[in-house]
Amino acid sequence: KEVMVPFGGFDHNAQSLSVVVNLEERYAGFDGLNLTWETLEGLVKHNGPLLGGNKSRPLPRVIAEYGEIQDLELDTYASAEAQAAALADDIAYNNHDIDDGLRAGLFSIGDLDDVPLVGPIFTEVRKDFPDLDESRQIHEAVRRLIGTMVDDLLNESRRLIQEAKVASADDIRSLGRPVVGFSPDMIALEASVKAFLFENMYRHARVDDMRAKAMRVVRDLFQAFQEDPDRLPDEWRNKLDGVSPEIAAQMVADYVAGMTDRYALEEHRRLLDVGEITK
């Protein structure tokens, strides 16, 4: 995001759209994938409308340009399925981060005792299975946490849909508010979980160190390819002929964003490690 600020910024939803409508090369007759309108709509606005109301943030270029080809109704909500997918992300991230944090030793099960929602479930697991080893305690507790959040999401969404009296997908889009969501109690509980993770995991010294290293790798790769496009693979380098600096920067960002972690590290080592010269 930082390196793309001078060139219009970087938005992960816009990047997802770019991958599926431009960057994938699977068909002879066109670029991108042959996805439905509903899928594309969900990719772009699963977190809510991008236009209208008090929205002041400019549209990412990729989304704005695609909107001229196909109207994704950016001033309305996405389908119930897309709204559910957005909250499924929250459920997955929160619970997998608890799992990862425990297994990485960033915090302990005891540290979770006072965290609403999480602490009581770990206590319940220890009561039900007093002789269970820690690894299986974690698996069981995380499974129950996911189930608890999913049950709440289903029950509250059912209530919201009944309250709104929606009868079609278009009713959901034009309602002006989500029909999929957590209950007020679960929203408060989830906020406590996120606050704990922010303090004890996301801002942990070890994680901060890894984040700084990852940012440096991405920044270095972007600058290396932007300053010397000849370092890009032929199929990417050829796309840069005659394009504006903004489009060139976006193409470099597309290339770097498509790298796996391992490949990015290998490319960083190959391009920027002076020790490679002697090998």
**Has residue 275 got a pLDDT over 90?**
no
pLDDT band at 274 (very low <50, low <70, confident <90, very high): low
The sign of the dihedral angle between the CA atoms of 39, 31, 15, 216 is positive
Angle in degrees, CA 111, 112, 113, rounded to 5: 95
Who contacts 240 (Cβ-Cβ below 8 Å, separation ≥6)?
229, 232, 248, 251
Is the Cβ–Cβ distance between 222 and 6 less than 8 Å? no
Structure tokens at 226: 């932007």
Predicted confidence (pLDDT) per residue in 17-48, tens digit? 999 999 999 999 999 999 999 999 999 999 99
pLDDT band at 278 (very low <50, low <70, confident <90, very high): very low
Is the Cβ–Cβ distance between 121 and 165 less than 8 Å? no
Per DSSP, helices labelled H in 165-199 are: 169-174, 184-197
| Alpha carbon distances (Å) from 96 to 81, 90, 92, 102, 169 | 22, 10, 6, 10, 32
Residue 86 one-letter amino acid: A
Which DSSP symbol is given to 22?
A: I
pTM here? 0.86
Counting every residue, how long is the chain?
279
The dihedral over CA atoms of 26, 31, 36, 39, expressed in degrees to the nearest 10, equals 90
Predicted confidence (pLDDT) per residue in 66-97, tens digit? 999 999 999 999 999 999 999 999 999 999 99
Predicted confidence (pLDDT) per residue in 96-142, tens digit? 999 999 999 999 999 999 999 999 999 999 999 999 999 999 999 99
